[in-house]
Amino acid sequence: MAAELASTCDASPSARRARVSDLAARMLSKTSKQSSDPAILLLADGTAFYGRSCGAAGTAVGEVCFNTSLEGYFEVVTDPSYAGQIVTMTYPQIGNYGIDLADTQTAPGMPGRHLGNVKPALRGLVVHDMCHVPSNWRSTMSLPEYLEERGVVAIEGIDTRALVRHLRDNGAQKGIVSTEVFDLAELAHMLDSAPDLVGTNLVQTVSCKEAYGYDASSLSQNRAFAAAAPANARKKVVVYDCGVKRGIIEGLARVGCELLVVPWDTPASEVLKHRPDGVFLSNGPGDPDAVEETYAQVQRIIGKVPIFGICLGHQMISLAAGATMEKLAYGHRGGNQPVLNLLTHRVEITAQNHGFGLVFPSLGELVPELSGGVSEHPCGSDGTPATGDLRFWVERGVAPVVSNERFGRIRLTHVNLNDGTAEGIQLLDAPAFSVQYHPEAAPGPTDAHYLFTAFMRLMDGDRDYLDIDIAKDRLAGWTFAEEPVA
């Protein structure tokens, strides 16, 4: 090997590059990664990253974004909310504990949608270092094997720190990842020809095609050793599937909901015919303004039955109230987003996945007597209310209320502490509330589990349904092994 390296150093520059490339390939083939094909990631602004394939061969186009979760990569890969996106994981090594198909977040209940027997909704995956030989007693296959088997293009070996900094400085943007095309001009042409995320209805690609039921009897037993027994079903809830995660379905069933999951465009009249105790609006991918069929139905349901919405469901309630949405620079994706509950003044570390957000002032004018005496929405540096930093309300300890033309008084309940964006609202004159984040912790912390309990309390008619000790509630769903008796 030393002689080979010496001869390489004595060669011409072009021959030296060829020999080093061949030598590197042969050295890599002796490691757990084995040999791999080259891959490239090209962004819409012309920035290119070169690496190695660690998934399926092919070419994929989508919006390049990043997720800051330290674990839960399989739940991220199988989250339907990532439809249309190429996800970059910021944690350096991904795949080290392999995967168990029981952890898939593809919703259950539909033929072919159980245990990951369907291609994930995301377009591609970007990591710094992919582990090809996982170590975990629950693992049944490696992440690269899963990606290749499901046809997901993935790239490793790039500087994900540089990529994430670029996206933070320049915003999320379209990109193309390929293991078969390396001509930059050709890749740029393919990228320009692809549709933008804004204006595209991705919900229809991940929603169920027909209604199905789900209750506690359908719960997986793979976590029975740690999870507390589910509550008895006592509320009938219709779930609008806009790309609902399996963890959400399970969370609702565990607190006592008997579910009927329906497609994203189910008419309100059909939902109300079932005489549900409540309606749940799920998470989902893409531009909320493009999902008019859903928020038009929500507008007809508000006031008739209790409603709880998360993520895209939060945006559906907001749009039904006539609000404006804004495209965030790079969105919130990960399991470490700090949010303040303005009602309890407790901070929640939350799991999030969205690229659009509610412009709270667009819901209506402030009601001063319910907003700490403040009569005008706070403004940004350019003097416009739309860019106001909602941490203004955090500093004052006030949950402001606006007067909405359609549904009366609406209160801001949650604010993101990183950027001051709206994270939750509560309708005061109708039984409805919503948050922009995920309460099911799949993956992520359990701080927001209390929102499932709050929904049950809302359906019970409790006026203070959001006033819950989150520390006690998040522990209620688990059991802990007792100390062995000596």
Residues tagged active-site: 311, 438, 440
Q: How many CA atoms lie within 13 A of 159 on its CB side?
A: 8
CA-CA distance, 16 to 8, in Å (whole number)? 5
**Dist CA 119 CA 208 (whole Å):** 14
Q: Is 81 annotated for ligand binding?
A: yes
Is residue 24 exposed (0-12), middle (13-18) or buried (19+ Cβ within 10 Å)? exposed
User: In the structure encoding, which two tokens stand for residue 346, read together?
Assistant: 């407790």
Residue 356, annotated ligand binder? Answer: yes
Please, how many CA atoms are within 13 Å of residue 430, restricted to the half-sphere of its CB?
Answer: 27
- Do the annotations mark residue 286 as ligand-binding? yes
Residue 193: exposure state from Cβ atoms within 10 A (0-12, 13-18, ≥19): exposed
Which residue type, as a one-letter code, is found at position 269? S
**Interatomic CA distance for residues 65 and 333, integer angstroms:** 8
Q: 312 a known binding residue?
A: yes
297 is in an annotated binding site: no
Is 355 labelled a binding residue?
A: yes
Q: Which amino acid is at 432?
A: A
Token pair belonging to 133: 């030989």
Task: List, as residue ranges, the binding site for L-glutamine.
Answer: 81, 284, 286, 312, 315, 353, 355-356
Task: List, as residue ranges, the binding site.
Answer: 81, 284, 286, 312, 315, 353, 355-356
